[in-house]
Chains A and B, each alone.
Chain A
Amino acid sequence: MLKLLNISASYQDIPILENIYLNISSKLFYGIIGPNGAGKTTLLKIMTGIKGPDAGEVLLQGKKINRFAKKEVAKIMAVVPQSSFVPPLFTVEDVVSMGRYPFQQLRFSDSDADRRCVDEAMEKTGINGLRHRRINELSGGQRQEVIIARALAQTPQILMLDEPTANLDIKHQMKILHLTSALVRNEGMAAVMVIHDLNLAARFCDRLILLHDKKILTMGTPETVLTPAHLKTAYGVETSVGENPLTRSLEVTVLDKKGAVHESVKQCVNY
């Protein structure tokens, strides 16, 4: 559905990504992991066509992404950006309705289809009760849900989320991850999420993409990606990888230099 062919990208002549090949297919939940500054956001910007690559091609449904009209891209792909600046004085409904922009023919009123999609998006994200609240009065978790609802109102086939769970409490983190994986399971969407929490990534994502030193270090199922050797290369820390008995998914525990579990970096939170 979305293909990256031999992509290289840079900021002001500083190379950030080199020779990236990637293939995003529907019905799969992809997690992009890697240390801070590895280029995860940059990779997402390349995939969404916001940033042009220095070399290589981005193909959306077999066609170069920069050949699409912007509105056509927005009908296929929706983005929840890393830092969503939220201007005050808009209601939740106003914001979610903005997701219908690429479809809107009429200048001043919404069609029935538009209104239905907005309602559905709010339903799925569970923010129906907030409809008339102002977004600047909401909590960070609720705001993030509003932004996700706006993306869903675009009725996309690909959903991109850049660290949507950062700064959220565990309840909201779980809510967003459950929602995303439900969209992938039930509606056949492709989801691409940048995520820092390796245990959550292992538990929810079908495929992981580990970025390191401008390249994709490794990519595949959580079992193939999350090995102590890979994590040592990418993050420079010793880890132990086991199975969580409750969730039956992989669990990464960071060890300190002596090989013992270091209290302050203990990552084995059982959700």
Chain B
Amino acid sequence: MKHGNYFLMMGFIGTGLLFTACLAVMIGPVVIKPLLVVKIWVHQFTGGLIEKEWSRIPEVIVMDIRTPRVLLSILVGMGLAVSGAAMQGLFRNPMAEPYVLGMSSGAAVGACLAIVLGMGRVFGPFAIPILAFTGATVTIFVVYNIARTGNRVPTETLLLAGIAVGLFLYAVVSFLKISASMENLQNVVLWLMGSFAMATWMDVKIVILPLLGGICVLCFMVRELDILQFGEETAIHLGMNVETVKRILLIASALVTGAAVSVSGIIGFVGLIVPHMVRMAMGSRHRILLPASALCGAIFLVCCDTLARVVSQPSEVPIGIITAAIGAPYFVYLLKRRKNAVNWW
């Protein structure tokens, strides 16, 4: 792909994302006109470049309720899709993603601990994200060390260790659930199902740095990811420090996953199906795959969240259920359709 085409393509998807975001802010119990949404945004984000000519109600709806929620789903969607794409590239396995490696279960244990122990009351809003990130990082290091033989970490054992540790951590979450008080239990269950319903600007501020930071690190590794597709031995022959690259990718991925899980709970399938669709449309070169997955993941999650808000108004469906309802059939379809490994990858 030529450079011109590349930027054209990213620009196109980026515009699509803006459009989707605008649409998502419009839609809800109170529908707000698109022009008004844009005006309120411009007014707010440029410090009053446009005269205010609307009442307080639409402004509160747009700025305090819907915009942070849409922003949060954009950030989380980007994070989940990019770390999914990076893990699939690292493990050369289309089934790899932070969930498979146990990272999100680790983050869930951390977050559940924070909720069950009521740490939010003591440490404020940072308790859940910090514990979730710690959970994800500790998990990936435990998994990494279980899988390690000598100073190498074979990919196959890493995946197996991830699955085993993930299942164990899931049991820990269940244990935390039964030992929680009634009120905390409700919070845990709600949180585990995954939702952006409680999204605030505070959430956005807390996770924006780790999420964007982690995504940037992953996007910096596109060259390494491309080379790793030829196997680790070739990567070493080409002068790559494979174990260091692995560690960087795993930590960045844990950071992104921990941050995403801490604000939105467990949202499955995004990291699996978004990179997969992008790969089918644009090929598996990571310098295209990662940025495109980020944008498409954001679009996908904003759409899912909007669906979650509107399908059963006035109540909400947890977004995890929506992504599963779309993702699982799509995955079954892919499995059925698969003829050979080349098609798959």
Instruction: Spell out A's residues near B (CB within 8 Å).
Output: 48, 50, 69-75, 78-79, 81, 84-90, 94-95, 98-99, 101-102, 104, 107-108, 136, 154
Contact = CB atoms under 8 A, between A and B. Distances in A.
B237 A94 contact: no
A102 B238 CA distance: 6
Given A89-B285, A90-B285, A98-B227, A70 B239 contact: yes
B226 A94 contact: yes
Contacts of B345: 87-89
Interface in B274-296: 283-285, 287
A136 B342 contact: yes
Nearest to B341: A88
Interface string B203-222: 00000000000000000101
Contacts of A136: 342
A88 B237 contact: no
B233 A50 contact: yes
8 tightest A-B contacts by CB? A74-B239, A102-B239, A71-B239, A87-B229, A79-B237, A89-B283, A101-B238, A89-B284
B342 A88 contact: yes
20 contacts: A48-B237, A50-B233, A69-B239, A70-B239, A70-B241, A73-B239, A78-B237, A81-B237, A84-B230, A85-B230, A87-B230, A88-B342, A90-B226, A90-B284, A94-B285, A101-B227, A101-B239, A102-B238, A108-B222, A154-B238
Contacts of A154: 238
Contact of B234 (A72, A73, A81, A90): A81
Nearest to A109: B3
B214 to A, nearest CB: 17
B231 interface: yes
Contacts of A87: 92, 229-230, 284, 345
Interface string B310-330: 000000000000000000000
Interface in B219-255: 220, 222-223, 226-227, 229-231, 233-234, 236-241
A104 B226 contact: no
A108 B287 contact: yes
B245 to A, nearest CB: 11
Given A87-B284, A90-B285, A104 B230 contact: no
Contacts of B220: 107
Interface string B118-139: 0000000000000000000000
Contacts of B92: 87
Nearest to B231: A85
A101 B234 contact: no
A70 B236 contact: yes
A155 to B, nearest CB: 12
A99 B239 CA distance: 9
Nearest to B345: A88
A94 B284 CA distance: 12
Contact of B238 (A84, A86, A99): A99
Interface string B136-159: 000000000000000000000000
Contacts of B238: 74, 98-99, 101-102, 154
A43 to B, nearest CB: 15
Given A70-B236, A87-B92, A98-B226, 20 more contacts: A50-B237, A71-B239, A71-B240, A72-B239, A81-B234, A81-B237, A85-B230, A87-B229, A87-B284, A88-B342, A88-B345, A89-B283, A90-B226, A98-B238, A99-B238, A101-B238, A107-B220, A107-B223, A108-B222, A108-B287
Contacts of B230: 84-87, 95, 98
Contacts of B237: 48, 50, 74, 78-79, 81
Contacts of B285: 89-90, 94
A41 to B, nearest CB: 11
Contact of B240 (A81, A95, A101): A101
Contacts of A98: 226-227, 230, 238
Contacts of A84: 230, 234
Contacts of A102: 238-239
Contacts of B231: 85
Contacts of B226: 90, 94, 98
B282 to A, nearest CB: 9
